[in-house]
């Protein structure tokens, strides 16, 4: 996870610096978002699996033992990012677009960690892709020693592809103007560039891309999860992400340059 955060941060700085974002402010924002995201991820995981901690409340704080829910981090860190944008007077949707690009990087590394830890494992399978975990591990106990699909690595691969697609989209929408005496310095330290079409499209693409990926991945999962009818909680939230994407596209004209502060 730490490696994923560092890689995401490095890419974030590389994209942000030429677009007028202050590196020190960005570092502060990232630090706050990491802690708020971890808190949200742990909070939602414990809420989903509270029966595991009912007789061991101190176990809630043993985060090094594993147990994080990605959507929990998004639901907490997202509003925190918006508040930070207001604090630093950055256009919120332009920053959400920027962070949406690097989120899949952290997710990809995080799922590798899940695979190594044995959590979020796939269902039992005889497929040539299936893997067998050591005796006594989570997947081994859950399936009676059967091989399971590496759902975590499926998601890692999907997140890598999603990252490159979002990066290409971001660079196209937020492409830098050719350096001329007239345009030099146009992206000030206080106002990052906003695409002429309006900000929010990269975030919408992330909501659709990751939402579709997560819905598919959930069908391969075999671990215990909270569900709503035939859908897991992650699939339900993913459908909500599709709705957010539609709203972002419909309200795009409101976020063109000069119409957002």
Taking the chain (261 residues) in runs of 10, the rounded mean pLDDT of each run is: 88 88 91 92 78 73 71 90 92 93 94 88 93 90 91 96 97 76 48 73 96 95 79 90 94 74 45
Q: Which of helix, strand or coil describes residue 107?
A: helix
Q: Which of helix, strand or coil describes residue 87?
A: helix
Q: How buried is residue 156: exposed, middle or buried, by Cβ count under 10 Å (0-12/13-18/19+)?
A: buried
pLDDT value of residue 261? 45
Burial per residue of 233-242, b for 16 or more beta-carbon CB atoms within 10 angstroms, e otherwise: bbbbbbeebe
Give me the residue spans of the domains in the chain. Answer: 2-57+64-175
pLDDT tens per residue across span 87-103: 998 889 999 999 999 99
pLDDT value of residue 189? 45
pTM for the model: 0.86
């Amino acid at each position: 996870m730490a490696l994923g955060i560092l890689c995401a941060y490095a890419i974030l700085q590389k994209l942000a610096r030429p677009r007028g974002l202050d590196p020190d402010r960005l570092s502060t924002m990232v630090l706050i978002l990491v802690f708020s995201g971890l808190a949200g991820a742990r909070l939602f995981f414990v809420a989903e699996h509270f029966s595991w901690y009912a007789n061991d409340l101190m176990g809630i704080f043993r985060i090094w033992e594993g147990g994080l829910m990605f959507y929990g981090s998004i639901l907490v860190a997202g509003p925190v990012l918006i508040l930070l944008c207001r604090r630093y007077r950055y256009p919120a949707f332009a920053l959400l677009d920027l962070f949406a690009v690097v989120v899949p990087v952290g997710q990809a590394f995080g799922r590798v960690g899940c695979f190594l830890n044995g959590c979020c494992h796939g269902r039992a399978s005889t497929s040539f892709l299936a893997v067998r975990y050591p005796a006594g591990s989570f997947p081994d106990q859950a399936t009676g020693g059967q091989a399971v699909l590496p759902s975590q690595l499926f998601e890692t691969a999907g997140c890598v592809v999603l990252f490159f697609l979002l990066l290409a989209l971001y660079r196209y929408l937020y492409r830098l103007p050719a350096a001329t005496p007239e345009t030099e310095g146009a992206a000030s330290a206080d106002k990052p560039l906003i695409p002429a079409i309006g900000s929010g499209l990269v975030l919408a693409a992330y909501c659709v891309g990751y939402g579709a990926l997560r819905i598919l991945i959930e069908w391969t999962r075999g671990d215990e999860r909270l569900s709503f009818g035939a859908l897991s909680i992650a699939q339900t939230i993913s459908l909500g992400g599709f709705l957010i994407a539609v709203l972002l596209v419909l309200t795009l004209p409101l976020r063109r340059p000069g119409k957002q502060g």
